[in-house]
Amino acid sequence: MKNTKKLASLLIVGLMAAGMLSGCGNGSDTSTTESGTEASGKNLTEVKWVSPAALASLDFVWMYVADEMGYFADEGLKVNIIENTDGSDARFLAAGSADFAASSPAVALSTVDAGATNIKAIVNNVSSNIFGIAYANKSDVKDWKDLEGKKIAITGEALISIYNPILAAAGVDTSKVEYVVLGNARYEALELGAADAMGTWISEYDMCEGMGYTDWTFLSGNDVLPQIANSLWVNTDFAEKNPDTVKGFARAITKAMYFCYKNPEAAADIALNRYPEIECTWEGAVGAVNGNVSGMLGMTDEALQATLDAHSIGVYDMEMVKKTIANLLAGGSIKQELDAETYYTNEYVDTTWDYADVDADAAAYTCASKVYTEVNAA
């Protein structure tokens, strides 16, 4: 069982351009830093993980939990992070510049479509379509079709490829939608009526509710275009040589996913301690983690409980994978049919680890971040 301040194994070793999925972040570039906790004396195998977006956010809280709670170290791993925010994370992985990535299906499979066939998804990290559209209840938007002729604020142009297929599936004529790139200024634009709607994702929407934006409604993309989202991907050349390392990495991630469910406040605290520059209320941070949990384990209570009961955290429903690939093909994100079993696998996911140890870790954690302390000192 782990203590709350276990050895750190994450080292940020690279930085690329400012990016998009920076929910609960400060909207600025992060500089190269090293985790402040000490490494243990045992020999650790170093591996590299490339992010698809800015690190100073709650979007990758499961990575920070896996590190802080010692789950990587338990597997004998030290994880070096390469921050990547320009959409080239899957290409980075395929080139062998990283061993693991957290790419979306569109990004990863379009890379495969372009000829980089040496990557494979190994953990169903975000099992639902987490993206959608938020609108203010005071606006005249009430449903999907009302978005035609409206102005939708988004973080960056790259996300149009995510929102357009969702809108099309909902029966919206996307040629009648105006996208406006506003980054995190989207919140104020929607609240003040400068935008009619906002492209967002479930963890960010839950974060916004925690920050006081409570008079909004979320139209879930999963309702009209159910599919999986980001996965843990591996470079297959690396996996063939290091199968046990890959299994250990996957096991650490699935434990961290479960930890986020068991104690979302602890998970939020871990991220806020690691990145104190994150500008977010305590309620917003916890909301973001709860949104992450929905995406990881199930969008409904029933779906989440079914995942837990089956001990199937991180396991792919291959029929949903096939549907996702078909959606990408129909939407033009990929140009050729791709075989689901070739690029997605459950062979590295361990479904036998004991929940009890992580239960104990989650119960024992004591929050200590500045944000948490300021809220609870009142």
Cα 104 to Cα 215: distance, rounded to the nearest angstrom: 30
pLDDT tens profile 77-100: 999 999 998 889 999 999 999 999
Percent of the chain with pLDDT over 90: 78
Task: Name residue 131's beta-bridge partners.
Answer: 201
| 164-186 burial: b if 16+ Cβ within 10 Å, else e | bbbbebbebeeeebebbebbbeb
Residue 37 has pLDDT above 70, yes or no: no
Ranges 11-20, 200-209, 220-229: which has the least confidence? 11-20
- Please tell me which residue, 42 or 109, carries the higher pLDDT value: 109
Cα 281 to Cα 289: distance, rounded to the nearest angstrom: 13
Query: pLDDT at position 243, please?
Result: 98
Residue 259 has pLDDT above 90, yes or no: yes
Q: What is the mean pLDDT of residues 122-151?
A: 96
Q: What is the mean pLDDT of residues 229-233?
A: 96
Cα 103 to Cα 126: distance, rounded to the nearest angstrom: 10
Cα 141 to Cα 163: distance, rounded to the nearest angstrom: 17
Residue 378 has pLDDT above 70, yes or no: no
Q: Which two tokens stand for residue 177?
A: 């939608």
Cα 250 to Cα 351: distance, rounded to the nearest angstrom: 10
Query: pLDDT at position 275, please?
Result: 95
The residues, ordered by sequence, that sit 6+ positions from 259 with a Cβ below 8 Å of its Cβ are 65, 69, 266, 267, 358, 361, 362
Summary mean pLDDT of the chain: 89
Query: pLDDT at position 87, please?
Result: 81
pLDDT tens profile 331-361: 888 899 999 999 999 999 999 999 999 999 9
Q: How many Cβ atoms from other residues are within 10 Å of residue 247's Cβ? A: 17
